[in-house]
Amino acid sequence: MVESLSPNNRSTPSTAPLPSRRSLRDTGPIATRAPAAPAPAAYALPSTKPAMKKKSIQSRIVGIFTVLVVPGIIVTTSIPAMALGLSGADANGSNTNFLAANAQSVVVASDLDDEGVSRDSFDATTQAELDAKEARAKAKASAASARANDGDFSVVGPRAAGDDYPWRSSSGLSPLAYVTRQCTDFVAWRLNRDAGTTSAPFKYVWSNMTPGGGSASAWANAWRNNGWKTSHKPVAGAVAWFYGNHVAYVKSVNGANVTLEEYNWGGDRSYHTRTMKADDVALFLYPPP
């Protein structure tokens, strides 16, 4: 059963009643609703971040300048004053100063006292000392050469066939006044043997054969100075003279070849024989008269 609405039980509407369809037809078409006006744009405040960043960089630069540069300026300006304090005297006339008053004590080891360097500990080598040193070196070299010539560094082997040299085991000078076991002494021996003098007094010695010098290189000039014959034609018993400070004894001539006997060929101070072309010999010194 539908309750009838009465003024006693009907609630008062909180809002105005909605229009009915008829009222809407009677009033005409529905008015088009105007679009809502856009809300005014909010005012954009300028950003403060770049300015804050720039300010931050400047603040850092100022801080670094303050930390690094300002102390340097203070120290630089303080050094002259400190230097004056080191060298100047105070009001009482004493040389004490702030640094000296606050200096720490340094302990020096006692063994360092003997390690001082003296100017007298360094001596320059004089020219006389250099000359004396050079003279000693030359004397030592000369002594070594003499020992070599005396046979100290050579070994005497068995006598070879045809070797009749009498001083093959000797050292120093032979009775002919040439160094033993050298090419010159051996050839001088052969010239004396051919002349029939095999014992003292010998006919040909250094003083009348090559008085200007005992080396083989001087023999050709000595022959000319003595007026003895020289030739490019070989004969038995002649001296074969070579460039390069060597002489040999011509044992025989075989056509265009010659057979030589010699000592110290190759520097071994021993007896040798060899056959070679006569044209390879620089000059033949004929036996002295």
Mean pLDDT within 204-219: 93
Pairing mode, if any, of strands 257-263 and 246-254?
Answer: antiparallel
Q: Collapse the DSSP code of 186 into the 3-class scheme (helix H, G, I; strand E, B; otherwise coil) and give the result.
A: helix
Q: Which amino acid is at 116?
A: G
Look at the alpha carbons of 65, 68, 70, 73 in this order and tell me if their dihedral is positive or negative.
negative
pLDDT at residue 134, as a whole number: 83
**183-285 has which fold?**
endopeptidase fold (from Nostoc punctiforme) (3.90.1720)
Lowest-pLDDT range of 58-67, 190-199, 243-252: 58-67
Domain boundaries along the sequence of the chain: 183-285
pLDDT, one tens digit per residue, over 152-179 is 445 666 788 889 999 999 999 999 999 9
pLDDT score at 150: 45
Separation CA 30–CA 27 (nearest Å) = 8
Cis ω for the linkage preceding 201 (within 30 of 0)? yes
Per-residue pLDDT band at 125 (split at 50, 70, 90): confident
The pLDDT value recorded for residue 190 is 97
The total of other beta-carbon atoms located within 10 Å of residue 253's CB is 17
**Burial profile 105-128: b = 16 or more Cβ within 10 angstroms, e = fewer:** eeeeeeeeeeeeeeeeeeeeeeee
In this predicted structure, what is the pLDDT of residue 287? 96
- Please name the residue that has the structure tokens 């006389």: 128
Burial environment of residue 84 by CB neighbours within 10 A (0 to 12, 13 to 18, 19 or more): exposed
What confidence score (pLDDT) does residue 130 get? 84
Contact 237, 287 (CB under 8 A): yes
Say if CB 129 and CB 240 are below 8 A apart: no
Q: What is the pTM of this model?
A: 0.49
Better-scored residue on pLDDT, 97 or 222? 222
CA distance 262 to 142: 25
Residue 232 β-bridge partners: none
Residue 84 has pLDDT above 60, yes or no: no
